[in-house]
Structure 1
Amino acid sequence: MSQKTLEKQSLLSSWESDEKLNDVDVVDSARNIKQKEAQVLQFNTQNGTQQVTIHGDLSSKLPIILTYPDIGITHHGCFDPFFNMVTSYESIFEYFVIVHIDPPGNHYNAELKKKAGIESFDFESLSDDIYDLISKQLKIDWKTRALIAFGIGSSCSLWTKLANTHPSLLRGMVLINPIADVASWKEWAFDKALQWTEHNKTGEYVKSIFWGSLLPRYFPTLIDVETSEELRQSFYQEFAKLNEDNVMKYFKGYLRRKEITLQDLKNIK
């Protein structure tokens, strides 16, 4: 048995379900991804500036993994820890090109670019942006390349919409925590509250509640108090680097999502 296998088994055996996580460092783990081969590009879309981070050579014939993050978090916090963990033990991702797509204006230190009539991102429009990005901006010949979509939470609806509109585009999808229904009554009420506060210039209070509600979205079961506070502060540091108005557009677009029906799923090959 190889040394790498022994180390992996030792690590897995140390993960006990009732063990407290006393050494959690979300920020550091999200930044350990190797950046030496990363290429960062920005493109203008109908919804604003979209940033794309590419690991690997797009001109190669390797299959491509496309990622899109959940609400209020960039690909750094959403996907880097996963790829860091896997690449620590396996070399499988050497045989893929990784393309991280952040929502328009939802990358670090993005500027707010208001466009007339756009108060929320329409998911059909966002899926059109991705299709244009793949076929026109990055010039990926998806007919001869295997494209695999990787989504979490809100982005699952986006990938499903894209696959329904372009059934032959994706070879496969990995969707974690997808929701096929329209917004719940709680989400609907929050959306209405956002509209009211924006019209009455009291939106800062609701925005603070919004940011506070994102942490339980990623950690629904809080651990011990000390570790919970560390996680909270780490994510607040990440939130502080994002333009909250742009994030709110993504969030409101998700609240106004359309139902994914069985017929929609049947259209996906």
Structure 2
Amino acid sequence: MPIVCSALCLVARVLQTGHPPQLRPERIALSTMSIVLEDVAEVRPLITEEGITVIYPELEIQEQSIETAHGIIHVTMWGSPKVNRPVILTYHDIGLNHKTCFNPLFNFEDMQEITQHFSVCHVDAPGQQEGAPSFPAGYVYPSMDQLAEMLPGVVQQLGLKSIIGMGIGAGAYVLTRFALNHPSMVEGLVLININPCAEGWMDWAAAKISGWTHALPDMVISHLFSREEIHNNHDLIQTYRHHILNDINRDNLQLFVKSYTSRRDLEIERPFPGGPCNTLKCPSLLVVGDNSPAVDAVVDCNSKLDPTKTTLLKMSDCGGFPQVVQPAKLAEAFKYFVQGMGYMPSASMTRLMRSRTASGSSVTSMEGNRSRSHTGEGTRSRSHTSEGNRSRSHTSDGNRSRTNSNLTPNSGSNATPMEASC
């Protein structure tokens, strides 16, 4: 009502004087904010820094460069760390930075509830941030293991208690290595398009070809998107191709790509009773689109992780960019994930209900008793699915509660992945 009255007063003044009044900057900002807020629900592949500050006027956004044992890393902090809560720490894929990778998701309306409960720390790999200068001649880019070892310095210098990691592609690999080496710093992981294995011969060939400057954008595009997306979603591909060609330092990107294609195998092992193993100790949500070029690698990674702490979410009607193409479903899945960790118990879960009839998600569940945020057959706790008794955020044949993704548990003595979609 005050905004409407102000608008009427402005119109009256124009009619009386014949001149538009000089608006103060704060009024201009208010008008801009009201326009942008109406468009929050739109999925925009590229969002500018101005769009972020307008959409989140109450969040303090700070950018800084942090010196670590393996070089300087650029971070962007949204909000201040909450007491007794982890910070969401993101890490992007090759060919991207935190803005082009995560802004479409975090600017989505359903994620605003999450950012009210958690501060967010966006990490840009060295030299990949917007406007980054070229490295000097002879600079040796950090290996993927060294990139992971830069994160403890970030956590410590920012005074963070712990993190919930969200990584995509190369960023998912870095966060997984970080969690394996420093489990006490990581409460949970959301890994999109994770490939825990060393490069194969096709990766090797692609890395060699990417040494040709003109071939680098095509190599990155084929890593980020499926063939179907490349052929059918021309607007999305053109947007990100333009970004790779014009907004990313090409020399720095080539170094990052070389580091990723030279990665070591994470050597993750599925735990067995009484034996030591190299595995993630925190709850993990693996996410992949059913048309993603990384789908086989993600399914393979799921087979190597602890089934009592891992959930695999496969999104239908989605390729390599679920955070852009299906932000509503990813936001919903993330809410359930943090609920299973004991946070945001009263979070609203509505958008997935509204969109269920349009397209669904599928989740691979493994057999065995689960805890906290996992799926499988047997006794479950509050955020899990199984046959039989269910609790508040699960689905099954028969009685349903709040979530809307159908989960099919395994049966029999051998735990083999099974998928179901709604």
TM class, shorter-length: 0.7 to 0.9
Q: Secondary structure at the match of 2:147?
A: helix
Q: How does 1:88-107 map to 2 (within 5 A)?
A: 91-107=113-129
The count of aligned residue pairs is 229
Is the contact made by 1:49 and 1:105 (CA closer than 8 Å) also made in structure 2? no
Separation in structure 2 between the aligned mates of residue 131 and residue 235 of structure 1, nearest angstrom: 31
| Structure 1 residues 26-71: Cα deviation after superposition (integer angstroms, max 9, x where no partner) | 2248974335421111223455542111111137444310000000
CA separation of 1:24/1:94 partners in 2, compared to 1, >3 Å: closer, same or farther? closer
| Structure 1 residues 128-152: Cα deviation after superposition (integer angstroms, max 9, x where no partner) | 11111111x2132x2xxx4100001
Is the contact made by 2:134 and 2:252 (CA closer than 8 Å) also made in structure 1? yes
Is the contact made by 1:31 and 1:76 (CA closer than 8 Å) also made in structure 2? no
Separation in structure 1 between the aligned mates of residue 108 and residue 278 of structure 2, nearest angstrom: 32
Question: Residue 266 of structure 2 is aligned with which of 214, 236, 260?
Answer: 260
Question: Residue 44 of structure 1 is aligned with which of 37, 46, 67?
Answer: 67
Is the contact made by 1:63 and 1:95 (CA closer than 8 Å) also made in structure 2? no
- Point out where structure 1 has 5 or more consecutive residues left out of the alignment: 1-11, 13-22, 195-202
- Given the alignment of the two structures, is residue 237 of structure 1 paired with residue 242 of structure 2, yes or no? yes
Equivalent position of 1:55 in the other structure:
78
- Given the alignment of the two structures, is residue 72 of structure 1 paired with residue 95 of structure 2, yes or no? yes
Greater Rg by CA: 2
Which amino acid in 1 is paired with 2:279? K
Higher helix proportion: 1
Between the two structures, name the one with larger relative contact order (CA 8 Å, sep ≥ 6): 1
Is the contact made by 2:209 and 2:216 (CA closer than 8 Å) also made in structure 1? no
Q: Secondary structure at the match of 2:258?
A: helix
Which amino acid in 2 is paired with 1:67? T
Separation in structure 2 between the aligned mates of residue 127 and residue 241 of structure 1, nearest angstrom: 25
Greater CA drift, 216-225 or 254-263? 216-225
1:243 Cα deviation after fit:
1.1
% identity of equivalent residues:
27
Is the contact made by 1:30 and 1:81 (CA closer than 8 Å) also made in structure 2? no
Greater CA drift, 163-172 or 259-268? 259-268
Separation in structure 1 between the aligned mates of residue 255 and residue 114 of structure 2, nearest angstrom: 36
The RMSD of aligned alpha carbons is 2.8
Equivalent position of 1:132 in the other structure:
153
Question: Residue 46 of structure 2 is aligned with which of 5, 27, 41?
Answer: 27
CA separation of 1:127/1:176 partners in 2, compared to 1, >3 Å: closer, same or farther? same
Is the contact made by 2:86 and 2:187 (CA closer than 8 Å) also made in structure 1? no
1:73 Cα deviation after fit:
0.5
Which amino acid in 2 is paired with 1:222? E
Q: Secondary structure at the match of 2:281?
A: coil
Separation in structure 2 between the aligned mates of residue 107 and residue 25 of structure 1, nearest angstrom: 19
Question: Residue 178 of structure 2 is aligned with which of 159, 162, 187?
Answer: 162
Separation in structure 2 between the aligned mates of residue 241 and residue 55 of structure 1, nearest angstrom: 22
| Structure 1 residues 5-28: Cα deviation after superposition (integer angstroms, max 9, x where no partner) | xxxxxxx9xxxxxxxxxx985224
TM-score (norm 1): 0.74
Separation in structure 2 between the aligned mates of residue 209 and residue 184 of structure 1, nearest angstrom: 19
Is the contact made by 1:26 and 1:231 (CA closer than 8 Å) also made in structure 2? yes
Which amino acid in 2 is paired with 1:257? R
Equivalent position of 2:255 in the other structure:
249
CA separation of 1:115/1:267 partners in 2, compared to 1, >3 Å: closer, same or farther? farther
TM-score (norm 2): 0.49
1:171 Cα deviation after fit:
0.3
- Point out where structure 2 has 5 or more consecutive residues left out of the alignment: 1-40, 270-276, 283-422
